[in-house]
Structure 1
Amino acid sequence: MNTQFITVSAVLLMLFSGNNLAVISEKENTVRTEASQPVRTVVINANDQMRFDKNEIRVKAGDRIKLTLHHTGKFAKNVMGHNFVLLTIGTDVAKFAQAAMSKKDTEYIPSTGVIAHTRLLGGGESTTIEFNAPPKGTYDFLCSFPGHYAMMKGKFVVE
């Protein structure tokens, strides 16, 4: 009985040790891959006049994007909330914005047509997201808070 317990324990130890080593190796490879990608820092300011300070952002395909959004205004997010939403190519901006109006529970972010987005910010708040640049092309970005897309939009150009 004692030898069976030791044998079973040894087998379990080998099985779990092997799995943990595999997981560690996968994590190490992931870190190495991400560390080797160029990081492009982008900072965007949004204000209470419903304006982004940039209407065009240019990056290279394959770049790791570190995007920071600052809401430089004073109004609360339920009155003058701002976010940054990068849309997939071919997404109709007006239809997306219309769909966003009914998505208050997800901070006005529909579940389709989105490559990356920030959380919704109120005045004085900032947030940073990271994502990989999509393939070469010209993409739309906007603020999806109801009514803002008409003035708060731009082009995200991947070269």
Structure 2
Amino acid sequence: MRRIAAAALLFACSTPLWAAQCEQVIESNDAMQFNVKDVTVDKSCKTFTVTLKHTGKLPRNAMGHNWVLTKQSDMQGAATAGIAAGLNNDYVKQGDERVLAHTKVIGGGETATVTVDVAKLKAGETYAYFCSFPGHWAIMKGTLKLGS
């Protein structure tokens, strides 16, 4: 009986060691920074969830942040188009097919979440994530890749 209990305990404790990591928390702040610069999504994930936390204090109209995902090659064009879209559209052009996913723009103390369909990501492709608030995308950016 002890062996069965010990085996069950060992299994329960070790399960997270091989479970896929299908979510990521990324913090942003009033100094225009993301705390995570590189993300690898496990290919076994069906979906990948990003939770953006704004750890600063400034409001969304002064120092708002969002999380936008595009192919690396589409980042600048999508960011430029987003500026024209304005705050009411979260600085993302409506219907922009270059944008694979995005959160709303949030201010200090707020949180936003978005889920990405992993089937839309391709192995070997480099994706960019960035904040599309005007003037932020050149600094607030990172890369996302589909792992093995």
Q: Distance in 2 between matches of 1:131 and 1:95?
A: 20
| Residue 16 of structure 1: aligned partner | none
1:73-126 Cα offsets, whole Å, 9 max, x none, are 0000000000000003531x2222221111113110023211111111000000
Unmatched segments (≥5 aa) in structure 1: 1-37
Deviation >3 Å, runs of 4+: none
| Residue 69 of structure 1: aligned partner | 52
Matched, 1:126 2:111: yes
Unmatched segments (≥5 aa) in structure 2: 1-19
1:60 to 33, 42, 47: 42
Query: Under a length normalisation based on structure 2, what TM-score does the superposition of the two structures give?
Result: 0.76
Query: Under a length normalisation based on structure 1, what TM-score does the superposition of the two structures give?
Result: 0.71
Identity in percent:
36
8 Å contact from structure 2 (residues 40, 144) kept in 1:
yes
Cα deviation for residue 155 of structure 1 reads: 0.4
Q: Secondary structure at the match of 1:97?
A: helix
Q: Distance in 2 between matches of 1:56 and 1:88?
A: 14
1:138 to 107, 120, 126: 126
8 Å contact from structure 2 (residues 131, 140) kept in 1:
yes
1:42 to 18, 24, 29: 24
Change beyond 3 A, Cα 1:89–1:154: closer
CA RMSD, aligned part only?
A: 1.5
Letter in 2 for 1:117: H
